[in-house]
Amino acid sequence: MKYVVGHKNPDTDSVVSAYCLAEFLGDGYKAARAGEPNKETQFVFKYSKAEMPELVDASKADAFVLVDHNGDCQIPKDVDRDRIEMIVDHHKLEGLSLNSPISIRIEPVGSTSTLVAKMYSKNNIEISKEVAALLLSGIISDTLKMTSPTTTSADKETAKELATKARINIDELASEMFKIKSDLTGMSISKVVGSDYKNFQMGKNKVGFGVFETVDPKPAIKKKKEIIAALTDLKNKEEVNLIFFGIVDIIKTITYLVILSKDEAEVAEKGYGGKTEDNILKLTGIVSRKKEMIPLLEKALT
């Protein structure tokens, strides 16, 4: 059996693209997830009437197809680098060192779901209603309903086609997804901080960066003290040199970056401009970790 699996701390795009690519590849391929699915991901699987992929167990698979990531820091635990046979992704190439040639498809589009949809249509494989609904959810989630600066015309066109196929109203689905994404009830602060969290290697520095996308940033900002405590723990656990957490207001397109210490403040102010006040640096007009937050930070660090 071969696993199709997304990155650690899985988001919606990484779980749905694993599911839909496994369906596309067919016999012998099985979708998996590299961690607990977040509330939004659970919702879209229920909504699409599809079964949530199982938790990856690296010892069970002969080979791996990686989706929605390619960097060493993001690969699920125990995945043997020699058994990776394919990568389908939309992140910058991190320079993974492998022992044999493999098939790699990376394109600068807004979601891995867009790429998987393209693979279906290029090979004239009929997309089922459930796959269409899942891929549409992946696009909506990663591109914030096609508003994030990562959005391309391919994402917009694909979303439209998938919505028609699955008979879904994009605005209605997106508004439900965003409401669920924003809901803090029943979530511990360490879960809020760690659920959409990634590590990045920036020169000599290992940098942790979590985001929480919400339609209303106020409840999260109110928990700033607890967030700072959770970030302190996470910084130790992940053994990173710097750690950041962005509360992203996806309606007003403002990120409230929680600043842990002087070290983080210095780098963040250099990268983004502005001045930290009460442990918050306000990033106006910035919503994308991949296209905005990370590149600016990387520049400041090198």
Note whether 68 binds Mn ion by CB under 5 A.
yes
Which is nearer to Mn ion, 109 or 281 (by Cβ)?
109
Query: What gap in Å lies between CA 208 and CA 85, rounded to an integer?
Result: 28
Stretch that binds Mn ion, among 68-76, 209-217, 283-291, 293-301 (CB under 5 A): 68-76
The site map against Mn ion for 111-130 (x = CB under 5 A) is -x------------------
**Near Mn ion by CB under 5 A: residue from 40, 142, 155, 249:** 142
Closest approach, Cβ 158 to Mn ion, in A, equals 14
Which is nearer to Mn ion, 177 or 231 (by Cβ)?
177
> Does residue 87 contact residue 63 with C-beta atoms inside 8 Å?
no
Closest approach, Cβ 142 to Mn ion, in A, equals 4
Strand order in the sheet with 205-214: 197-202, 205-214, 242-249, 254-259, 280-284
Note whether 13 binds Mn ion by CB under 5 A.
yes
Which is nearer to Mn ion, 197 or 264 (by Cβ)?
197
Query: What gap in Å lies between CA 15 and CA 90, rounded to an integer?
Result: 14
Token digits of residue 147: 């508003």
Stretch that binds Mn ion, among 32-40, 134-142, 177-185, 264-272 (CB under 5 A): 134-142
Beta pairing partners, 201: 206
Which is nearer to Mn ion, 130 or 142 (by Cβ)?
142
Strand ranges in the chain using DSSP code E only, listed in sequence order:
2-5, 29-33, 54-55, 63-67, 84-89, 103-106, 197-202, 205-214, 242-249, 254-259, 280-284
> Does residue 206 contact residue 200 with C-beta atoms inside 8 Å?
yes
Instruction: Return residues touching Mn ion (CB under 5 A).
Output: 13, 68, 112, 142
